[in-house]
Amino acid sequence: MELQKNKITESSPKEIEFLRTRGFGSLVSPTLLRLSPCEALYLCKRLGIKISSGKKPLPHAALEKLLSKKDKYLPLRYRCFEHLRAQGRICREHSIPSPYLRVYSRGIGREEERAQTIVRVCDKGWKFSRASLLREIAVAHFMRKELVLAFPEGAGIAFLKISKISFD
C-alpha cells in the first residue's frame, strides 16, 4: 500500500480482492483501491499491513500523526471506527475531513445497502445548543439515517442516539 498526497491506495489485484472481501476500501478503477485514513490505520494496527510513503514503510504511530495533520477529527473518528469494526460493523468516512462516519448493518456485503446510522464524533470540548442539535438531527433525517453522537470516555466510547419526535 502507498500513501501519496494523504491518499492511501493499493494496486495489487491479490490485495485488492483480500481487502474488498473484508469490506475495506472503494474501487477507483478495477486495478486501484482507495482506503480511507481510518481503514488504513486499522489495517496497519490489526493486520500489520505496511503502508509506505515513498520507499520507507510507516509505523502505525507515524502514519496516524501524518494523516492527522490535515484532519483534526481523525484520532476520534479512528477510535470510533476501531470500536465499531470490532463489533462487526462496516464504516465509511467522507472524502473530506469531517466528524462523521456512516455505519452499516453487521456483516460483510452490507455496504451495498444504505447506511443505517450516521455517527458524529464529539471531542471533550464540543459545545452544543438546542439549535445545533436540531441542525444535526435535520441533516441525519435528510440523509434518512439515525443520528448517534459518540463521546470518548476514558478508554471507551459512549454512544448516544438522538432523535426528534412530534406529537402532532
Q: For 5-61, what is each residue's pLDDT tens digit?
A: 778 899 899 999 999 888 888 888 889 999 999 999 999 998 888 888 877 888 888
Give the pLDDT band (50/70/90) at residue 109: low
Contact 111, 103 (CB under 8 A): no
Read off the pLDDT of residues 69-78 as tens digits, 9 standing for 90 and up.
Answer: 888 899 999 9
Considering the entire predicted model, what is its pTM? 0.85
- Measured CA to CA, the distance from residue 116 to residue 125 in angstroms comes to 27
Domains and CATH numbers, the chain: 2-68 (3.40.1170.20), 91-162 (3.40.1350.10)
Query: For helices 37-46 and 60-68, what crossing angle results, to 10°?
Result: 170
- Which residues are CB-contacts of 147 (< 8 A; sequence separation ≥ 6)? 117, 118, 120, 136, 137, 139, 140, 141, 161, 162, 163
Better-predicted residue by pLDDT, 167 or 147: 147
DSSP symbol at 102: E
